[in-house]
Structure 1
Amino acid sequence: MAVFEVVFHGQVRADVAPEQARARIGQLFQVGDRQLEMLFSGRRIVIKQGLDQAAAEKYRQAIERAGALCDICPMADSPAEPSPAATPPPVASPQRQQRAAVQPRDEYMAAFKDVDAPDLPIAPLGADMQDSYADPVPPDLDLSALSLAPPGSDLEQVRAPPPPAAPDTGHLRLADEG
């Protein structure tokens, strides 16, 4: 079965303004300004890979509706891998010095072709990755001065102060001017 990848080079359709295409692509992929800068940098960006032709075509149509152009490129068919249940997990040993040979798929990845990376094994699905577990030590806290209030009780929230008392004006008189 042929496998395809959707590749974006940051190109915009001629009938769409570049700002409008950027905004629509940002909305389509739900990315921020930083990711949009990377998408529209002109470099070859793989949007999605491992698709059949119908799914890749749906991606292309959505990107073109947003105002940009993309390519659908066939990927090299990868050899069929045996199921993980049939293959025992690889065992890492210090004597193992195999290095993975990587062929760059574009000029951006060509910068990494001379990187000497070890061929590290991948743990099987569901494997425990932590070497050992330590029992947690509870902190030494004295909580004897604390207590719980019964349900529904007032937890002494700050109440509004009562309104001030009206001043006593009984000793005041009005004088007649006249």
Structure 2
Amino acid sequence: MSRYEIAFSGQVLPGAELALVQANLAKLFQADAQRIALLFSGRRIVIKSNLDAAGAEKYRATLERAGARIEVVALDAEELIEEIELAPPPASPAAPAPAVVASAMQPSSAARLKVAPRDEYMAAFVEVDAPDFGIAPVGVDLQDARPAAQPPAVDFSQFSLAPVGSDMGEIKAKPAGPPPDTSHLKLQ
């Protein structure tokens, strides 16, 4: 089954007004002016990828009705699938759990992933040396042991305790004055 992608390069159909096409696409994509300006920057932008033929035709018809010139590109099956080849497992017999954890923590030169590039961009990463990390058994503690925390050395010799009830330099509140005389007031 063929797969397609829809790409837009900022071009409008002959006879279409640029401002009207921009307004139509803003309404269609529910995008703000900044995103619409990015669409019309002249760069080729893939709007939707990995579509079947019916979906690609639906996108093409909708975008051309809005006034945009788009291109529908068939994707090769090889572009969609990234091949990964794993190195063969080591020929040694199964080791006990601590040895498995140690080997999982330290990358070995025999267990390396070999990735075939899917395009020019990924071809730049062919020579990257990436270890194939293993998985530790269930229940194994992978965190390094923490050293015991040392209490801080604090010198309290300069401090002393005052006797109970002594004045510690607090400012004492003034005693409240006498309550006001309300004997002359009456309720009616």
Q: Larger Rg: 1 or 2?
A: 2
Judging by fraction of residues, say which structure has more helix. 2
TM-score normalised to structure 1 length: 0.49
TM-score normalised to structure 2 length: 0.47
